[in-house]
Amino acid sequence: MRAIPALCAAFIGLAGQGDGPEPADLVRIREAFRLTEAVQDSVWPGGWGAVPYPLLLVTEEREFLMGFPDTPSGFVEGPRVEPFEGRILERPRELPVNVLATFPAFGPPSVIVVGRAEATGKTSTSWVLTLVHERFHQFQTADSTYYAAVEQLDLAGDDQTGMWMLNYPFPYDSQPVIEPFENLSRRLAGLLDASTAVERGAFWDDYTRFLERLADRDRRYLSFQLWQEGVARYVEVRAAEVAARTFAPAAAFAALPDYEPFADVAAQLHEKLRDDLRNPDLAGRKRVSFYAFGAGLALLLDEDVPDWKARYMAEKFALEAYAP
């Protein structure tokens, strides 16, 4: 992550010039970079800090692209500060102001595409932690075998845009799927509160049987979403925990009017995760249900399989494969 200090210095120099991102946005982005660098090895050993960290900030009128190696069509050079090794590119806004996603918007590498904290409905602290979540998606998609493995899932059909990841027709409204999934969700919440190794083992057995009853394509889609989105949610939760214990926020970040201590946000994330698991709504939340469930599975793996992360990239799209 050698580029990060140069970017941070540039953001400080740009603040207040009026022809770039808002000063508060620059402070938040700087803090997201600082936080990622500070917690990444504790949360997920394995070199994700070496992955490029491009970011597209979407504001009300402009979009600002930072850390991308090329100049995509439609972008022009934005404000520069010397000495500044990186570039800020800009264009008129094209995307929704509340966007929050990571994808190869301009070809590889994947770009974090994010609206301002105010537009996404997040406080500065939760926004920064969300960028850590999205940063993990950059790590996932940077793996040299990721896209080939996704193709082998054979879930896209005729879709060449990647929207199948959002729109795949999983049987969310099917009662034979809803009832066992939601029962497992509530059990998972209880296991995270307190459990024995025997109870956790029985849960994994029952979860595996649930997967076996799904249609093969549906099983592959569920396992993919839990691996990708669920583990990214897990990373966000773990990053908040580490930040609460060890990370000192920058003075400029702590001075933002909507700043919250990382310990408070860590507690909120844990409670939200458990609440989602205790009160599942597969038919209503659809694929979003998989975020909490996948994060819960990852937390369960931490209890009994402390080295499961070493298998994560080599054995993709099946958290159950790591179970004890």
* Pair (18, 153) in one structural domain: no
Share of the chain above pLDDT 70, in %: 92
* Pair (86, 193) in one structural domain: no
User: Helices in 81-196 by DSSP H: which ranges?
Assistant: 117-120, 124-142, 146-152, 164-167, 175-193
Number of domain units in the chain: 2
**Residue 14's pLDDT band (boundaries 50, 70, 90)?**
very low
Residues 126-152 have pLDDT tens digits of 999 999 999 999 999 999 999 999 999
* Pair (191, 317) in one structural domain: yes
pLDDT of residue 129: 98
pTM of the entire predicted model? 0.92
* Pair (188, 60) in one structural domain: no
* Pair (16, 104) in one structural domain: yes
Share of the chain above pLDDT 90, in %: 84
- Is residue 110 a contact partner of residue 88, using CB atoms and an 8 Å limit? no
pLDDT exceeds cutoff 70 at 5: no
* Pair (167, 304) in one structural domain: yes
For the residues of 155-172, what is the DSSP string, one character each?
Answer: --TT--SSTHHHH----T
Average pLDDT over residues 280-293: 97
Any idea which residue has 């409670």 for tokens?
Answer: 271
pLDDT exceeds cutoff 70 at 6: no
* Pair (199, 251) in one structural domain: yes
Structure tokens, 262: 């990382």
Q: Is residue 133 part of a domain?
A: no
* Pair (101, 151) in one structural domain: no
DSSP symbol at 321: G
* Pair (217, 266) in one structural domain: yes
Residues 81-104 have pLDDT tens digits of 443 356 889 999 999 999 999 999
Residue 154 burial (10 A CB sphere; 0-12, 13-18, 19+): exposed
Q: Is residue 80 part of a domain?
A: yes
Residue span of the structural domain in which 114 resides: 3-121
